[in-house]
């Protein structure tokens, strides 16, 4: 595990547990949506700087990205990334009825937004419950990216990223998904104070 963001081992452990629970809930919700069993790998959680994100994702494909910002007394940008090549299959599974290829393409963005909404909110709920903070959550936004324009995005290279890598095994395919929680340094400082207070009270 890499930690370039100054978390102590207990804080790291706490955050890993939060994301494990969130991904588990997200997989359960996805399984209900797609009406099939989904096996998930144990999520790998890394704590990195934003400038290093592109080194940790599969850069050979275009990427579908759903972002959702969350705000309380600190701000977090949550993000779901997965390869575009898997996205049409997921949309077909989701819509169930037999739509034409044109219709599936037309619905691709909306369907992925809805999936992103479910997955990110599962992680946000786990995070919110664990640190006892209510977040105001903005509607999800969809973008297609490649690794290059990801690194040129509006985020500061020094922003802290909780990077969660998970493999989802659907019946006919393996999908690499990544969930990112991105925090500016001031938000990270406030979060660390909250983590510290919770851990002290244990």
Partner 1 sequence: METSKTLMIVDDSKVARMMTKSIIHNAHPDWLIVEANDGYEAIELAKKQAIDYFSVDLNMPGIEGFEVIEKICTLSPKAKFALLTANIQQSTHDKATKMNIKCINKPITEQSISQMLEYFND
Residues at the site binding partner 1, with contacts judged by CB under 8 A = 25, 29-30, 32-33, 35, 68, 94-95, 97, 107, 110-111, 113-114, 117-118, 120-122, 124-125, 128-129, 134-135, 137-140
- Residue environment code for 112-131, b if the CB has 16+ CB neighbours within 10 A, otherwise e: bbbbbbbbbbbbbbbbbebb
Nearer to partner 1, 35 or 60 (CB): 35
Q: Which is nearer to partner 1, 59 or 138 (CB)?
A: 138
**Strand (E) or helix (H) holding 196:** helix 185-200
In angstroms, give the least distance from the CB of 52 to partner 1. 29
Looking at the Cβ atoms of 51 and 94, the one nearer to partner 1 is: 94
- Residue 103 to residues 10, 35, 41, 106, 108, Cα–Cα distance (Å): 49, 21, 32, 5, 8
Q: How far is the CB of 191 from partner 1 (least distance, A)?
A: 16
Asked if 19 and 45 count as a contact pair (C-beta separation under 8 A), the reply is: yes
How near is the Cβ of 34 to partner 1 at its closest, in Å? 9
Place of tokens 């990077």: 163
Looking up tokens 């299959």, which residue turns up?
89
Report the residue number, 51 or 131, with the smaller CB distance to partner 1: 131
Place of tokens 């804080």: 11
Least distance from C-beta 128 to partner 1, angstroms? 5
């Amino acid at each position: 595990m890499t930690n370039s963001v100054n978390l102590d081992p207990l804080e790291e452990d706490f955050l890993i547990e939060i994301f494990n629970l969130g991904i588990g809930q997200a997989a359960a919700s996805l399984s209900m949506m797609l009406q099939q069993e989904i096996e998930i790998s144990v999520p790998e959680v890394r704590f990195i700087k934003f400038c290093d994100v592109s080194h940790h994702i599969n850069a050979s494909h275009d990427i579908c990205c759903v972002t959702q910002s969350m705000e309380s007394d600190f701000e977090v940008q949550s993000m779901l990334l997965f390869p575009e090549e898997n996205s049409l299959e997921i949309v077909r599974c989701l819509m169930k009825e037999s739509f034409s290829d044109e219709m599936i393409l037309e619905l691709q963005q909306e369907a992925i937004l809805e999936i992103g909404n479910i997955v990110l909110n599962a992680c946000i709920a786990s995070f919110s419950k664990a640190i006892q903070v209510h977040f105001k959550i903005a509607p999800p936004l969809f973008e297609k990216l490649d690794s290059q324009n990801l690194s040129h995005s509006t985020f500061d290279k020094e922003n802290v990223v909780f990077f969660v890598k998970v493999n989802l095994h659907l019946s006919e395919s393996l999908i690499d998904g990544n969930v990112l929680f991105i925090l500016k340094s001031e938000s990270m400082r406030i979060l660390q104070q909250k983590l510290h207070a919770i851990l002290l009270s244990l």
